[in-house]
Structure 1
Amino acid sequence: MKNYRHSFVGIFGLVLLLLSATLHAQTPGYHLVKKTVIGGEGGWDYLTVDHDNNKIFLSHGSQVEVLDLKTHKSLGVIKPTSGVHGIVAVPKINRGLTTNGRTNTATIFDLKTLAPIVELPTGKNPDALLYDPYSDRVFVFNHSGASATAIDIAKGKVLGTLDLGGDGVEAGVSDGKGTIFVNLEDTHEIVSFDAKSLAIKNRWSVAPGEEPTGLAIDPSTHRLFSVCHNELMIIVDANTGKVVSKVPIGKRVDGVVFDATSKFAVSSNGEGTMTVVKEVSPTEFTVVETVATAPGARTLTMDPVTHHIFLSTAQYGETPAATADNPNPRPSVVPGTFMLLEYGRD
């Protein structure tokens, strides 16, 4: 009997081990699908997917890199877009728009030919942007100008500018029903306004979050996901402005996306990680995974069809010595190493 019990325990343990391995295999986390070195020089900021035209657009220095969404093969560039920050695509009218931080302009371009159509004035240092299907407008968020510029992308004209107050305007989202929400970095707030009248609706604190940057929304549960520089994701009720939860994330965050299928809010942290937060219910949120990416990969975008996540970065060299004029120097970027990283869960 003694030997039998030992055999039984050994077999039972093996079954548990195999079951654990099987369950782990059935629930894979995010992993690197493809890494593509694009090369060239210059900094980077936002990137965006145009699934309808099988393209991905990446800001890079004074131009936009355009790649095939599946193969990552270069399809061309959009320029001049001096100090480009963000890109948005509106496939139904075959137009896209870039925000050009150094010239305080936005460039409308043809999604298929990539040819510029018209350059429009914006506020100071246009940065993040979004297309709102409810109002059929593009909203450009002017980081240093504390304002939002509304653009009719089909007609190629500026419709108006809204003063948001404060400074450090960051990313925004639409609820799809006429309200736009945007982060204000310096005042630690989310400001909401009417997409058509441009009237301010509410100003909500994201405390204990500080310096919010990226913003995402779950329109079905009316939850906003504001990622903050003090390593917190703040979840806010989009109806009342109440902070319903907070979860820890990585350092140097800049972007966040929400996947309505998986109920994952994913932040891109410049330290070289992604934090995956599960919306268990409208009042319960938990970190389910921290994914290693690469240093500098601080912004991200998601393909709404494949649910793959894309980030851009480059390799870093040495950090220059601090000086009186530059007490906090950034590490140098190795020329020719600008790259696209694609992650999936399949």
Structure 2
Amino acid sequence: MPTFRPALIVVASALLASTSLLLFAQQPYQIIDHWKVGGSGGWDYLLADSPSHLLFLTHGSRVEVLDTTTGKAVAAITGMKATHGVALDDSGKFGYISDGGNNSVVVFDRQTYKVVATVPAGTNPDGIVFEPATRTVWAFNGRSNNVTVLDAATNKVVSTLEVPGKPEFPVADDRGSVYDNIESRNELVRFDARTRKITATWSLTNCESPSGLAIDSQHRRLFAVCDGNKMAVVDADSGNQLASPEIGGRPDAASFSSTRQLAFSSNGIGTLTIIDAGDHYRVVQNLPTAVGARTMSYDELTDRAFLVTAQLGVAPAPTKENPHPRPTIVPDTFEVLEVGRKK
């Protein structure tokens, strides 16, 4: 009979454990739960705050705050006109809301959810991000083609910077650079947050109207989601485009998991595209979600993605002023889709 040496048994056990972990890591994502929020009005970006187990949803004139462990409402930040995005500082003290309807950035206390300041911005502030190296807040103004930069210590505007077209979603690399999609020119721009200047402008290929943007800060990769069913994978230092994997139609948000090396695209046609960022950017899953679920946030700690949508009615007739009208929203159907892995 063959004799098994202890060392071989240890190696075999290690390989078996690694295989089991790999198989677990490759389990597909699925919709785990639906959290009814209700109310009326449209929606835009959302943001998961992993350490606090909270989810911030922009919803019409308010921001809903939900507990991600229960799906229940915790609070609502109200008194705005048309909210778009939320950013959080790195101290746990303050949050920032882009109120596009009021052309302002609203600062709120993260313990009480009370508004503590309203700061004038450009026209229709949309994407917004906190930059930790300079402790500044960057609000990208979709109709005035510029960015309003706030000092988080004083809530004062310290710069207004021009951008070469209509800005979309921004990200920061935690090293002093801020990146933003320029939707109207199919470009990405990079800012030096310390000098507050554009340091690069990169054209994107096979990428029409880039909207959502995510970043892998460690491996220096950007993931821009685009019309035409493409994601542009871009080197964050050189601007070289590395890949253009296929995604679903009408995307609006991107996220990245540094632990699992996955990139996500939420698509308005009703899918969530998941891409293996460590394996030639291959698509590993297209999860059916719901029509209109085009914005998303990913929680790294729990490996959960959150998407929002509502039941949609009939779109109004196109006009010269609005050639692509959005469908009406059925009242009280707004909800969160919680996405995670099978266990």
TM-score (norm 2): 0.89
Separation (CA, whole Å) in 1 of partners of 2:144 and 2:132: 25
Percent identical among aligned pairs is 39
Q: Secondary structure of the equivalent of 2:306?
A: strand
Instruction: Please give the residue correspondences for 1:74-223 in structure 2 after superposition, counting only pairs within 5 Å.
Output: 74-90=73-89, 92-166=91-165, 168-223=166-221
1:44 alignment partner in structure 2? 43
What is the aligned length? 321
User: For the residues of structure 2 that align with 1:266 and 1:26, how far apart are their CA atoms?
Assistant: 15
Unaligned segments of structure 1, at least 5 residues: 1-22
Match of 1:296 in 2: 292
* Residues 1:236 and 2:256 aligned together: no
Residue equivalent to 1:20: none
Report the secondary structure of 1:333's partner residue: coil
C-alpha distance in 2 between matches for 1:253 and 1:174: 21
Aligned to 2:65: 66
SS in 2 for 1:52: coil
Letter in 2 for 1:43: G
Change (3 A) 1:326 1:89: closer
Q: Which amino acid aligns with 2:79?
A: P
Deviates more, 1:149-158 or 1:332-341: 149-158
Instruction: Give the 3 Å change call, closer, same or farther, for CA 200–40 of structure 1 in structure 2.
Output: same
Cα deviation code 1:134-156 (max 9, x no counterpart) = 11111111111211111122322
AA matched with 2:206: P
**How big is the shift at 1:330?**
2.7
Distance 1:156 1:334, change over 3 A: same
The farther-off stretch of 319-328 and 40-49 is 319-328
2:3 maps to none
Deviates more, 1:267-276 or 1:323-332: 323-332
- How far does the alpha carbon of each residue in 1:318-346 deviate from its partner, in whole angstroms, 9 at most, with x for none? 33455666554432211000101110124
1:1-40 equivalence runs, <5 A: 27-40=26-39
> Is the contact made by 1:228 and 1:253 (CA closer than 8 Å) also made in structure 2?
yes
Shift of 1:316: 1.1
* Mean Cα deviation higher: 325-334 or 34-43: 325-334
Question: Comparing 266-275 with 314-323, which one deviates more in the overlay?
Answer: 314-323
Aligned to 1:19: none
Which residue identity does 1:154 align to in structure 2?
A
Cα distance change, pair 327–104 in 1 and its aligned pair in 2 (3 A)? closer
* Corresponding residue number in structure 1 for 2:250: 252
* Aligned with 1:311 (options 269, 284, 307): 307
Residue in structure 2 matched with residue 275 of structure 1 by the alignment: 273
The runs of 5 or more residues in structure 2 that have no matched partner are: 1-21
Which letter maps to 1:220? Q
Compared CA separation, residues 39 and 183, structure 1 to 2 (3 A): same
Which residue identity does 1:62 align to in structure 2?
S
Name the aligned partner's letter for residue 251 of structure 2: V
**Residue type of the partner of 1:127?**
D
Alignment RMSD? 1.7
Partner-residue secondary structure (3-state), 2:212? strand
Which has more radius of gyration? Answer: 1
The 3 A distance-change label for structure 1 pair 328 and 137 is closer
Structure 1 residue 26 displacement after superposition: 7.1
SS at match of 1:280: coil
Aligned-residue offset at 1:203: 0.5
Code of the residue aligned with 1:182 in structure 2: it is D
Shift of 1:54: 2.5
2: CA distance between counterparts of 1:93 and 1:328? Answer: 40
Which residue is 2:10 aligned to? none
Query: Given the superposition, is the C-alpha separation of residues 208 and 136 from structure 1 closer, same or farther in structure 2, using an over 3 Å criterion?
Result: same
d(CA) in 1 for partners of 2:67, 2:33? 13
Query: Secondary structure at the residue paired with 1:255?
Result: strand
Q: Distance in 2 between matches of 1:303 and 1:81?
A: 26
The answer on whether the counterparts of 1:52 and 1:91 sit within 8 Å (CA) in structure 2 is no
